Structure 1
């Protein structure tokens, strides 16, 4: 399905990211993952099942460092012959207070990790897709389109990701590059279960289920879909 395709997955060492990396590798793609901790890539390799002859590579990278991201993605394109797929999962959640109690520092932090990382990665990857086509999937959030009470900074950053996605879809329409977003809610991960042990975890969506949606969006059957914001929160 994706044999010969080169994919970059930001946030690829996390719970959802690992599921996406696994799905892409299983489909035949070469996957490159930026990471923070020195042993993050090794832990990912041990956590997932590497298909025979699968190529999983990566390097330490600050996704908010524009020059570093451009350099890294250029090296990926040079080493593997291009970039075909970009999945922006990197981000984080913080909040819990109303707007008037939320310091600007938290707004800035949420914009940096949820929006800035996606913007820079898209800007660095797209030039390598222009001559070959490609697919971009950005991870937004259910909060971006619904009540963001007490999580305004997070919601605003994730809503901006939707605007980014719509702009990319319009700008790249004639370059055979699609750009779509997904809207998860609470994902069924060990960390989320630990944070909310009394919740009905059966209502949460497994990372593997979301990964299958992302796999579809970057695959050949989704070439007619661009600019979409797809809910993936099930009954959560």
Structure 2
């Protein structure tokens, strides 16, 4: 069965994580050629071997998203392997609680801003030239509900995710005449083993499955969303 994603080249960062695996699998199942990026190539290869459909055209790439030279070299390696970049799904990121702002150290602030915001800046900067050259592209970033509904003891995290949302809108404004769309999703609580362990008494049935978020990423990469750019889409489920 043919798909509009047949032969599209999709780059998925954080591909070894729960959401990254779901997004990579969704693209691979629909015929995309998928570059899976994360820190450890053997870990990503295990994801490919164990969780992606047999016969899918995929490749693992090790990258340090906090080092611009690593990001640039890795995305160039993706282009060398697949010929171009059509879709960039920036799934990598993280969450930490923390102290009150007056007790927050520079390293706590830097960690969240680097992991969640700087990494997105680096990957978008490296991927956009290929999209502009080919006259088509889709970028989907992951912000968070916390970008809109900030809470205490989460200042660096909330600020970093707000930065992702605003950066998304800025890039969308720059590329809206180039057939490139740039959007972000705002997940609620994601149903992952780690979250279940951290919150064992919560009603896990109310949380958002990674596969549901992957569906929204696919929509934003699809032709159905060709007129959607600069959007920040809540995906809260019942959480």
The answer to whether the Cα contact below 8 Å between 2:14 and 2:38 also exists between their aligned partners in 1 is yes
Q: Match for 1:117 among 116, 119, 129?
A: 119
* RMSD, matched Cα: 1.1
Looking at structure 1, the residues matched to 103 and 97 of structure 2 have their Cα atoms a distance apart, in angstroms, of 10
Query: Aligned pair 1:202/2:205, yes or no?
Result: yes
Match of 2:5 in 1: 2
State the shift of 1:75 in Å: 1.9
Match in the other structure for 2:57? 55
2:62 touches 2:74 (CA, 8 Å); kept in 1? no
Alignment partner for residue 73 of structure 2, among 71, 80, 95? Answer: 71
Match of 1:146 in 2: 149
Aligned equivalents of 1:216 and 1:225: distance in 2? 10
Residue ranges of structure 1 left out of the alignment (5+ in a row): none
Query: How big is each residue's C-alpha offset from its partner over 1:165-219, in whole Å with a ceiling of 9 and x where there is no partner?
Result: 0011000111110000000121001111011111110110100011001001001
Q: 3-state DSSP class of the match of 2:74?
A: helix
> Residue 7 of structure 2: SS of its match in structure 1?
coil
Aligned residues: 235
The offset of 1:147, in angstroms, is 2.6
Q: Distance in 2 between matches of 1:125 and 1:58?
A: 17
Deviates more, 1:73-82 or 1:39-48: 39-48
Match of residue 88 from structure 1 = 90
Shift, 1:148, TM fit: 2.2
1:85 Cα shift? 0.2
CA distance in 2, matches of 1:148, 1:124: 32
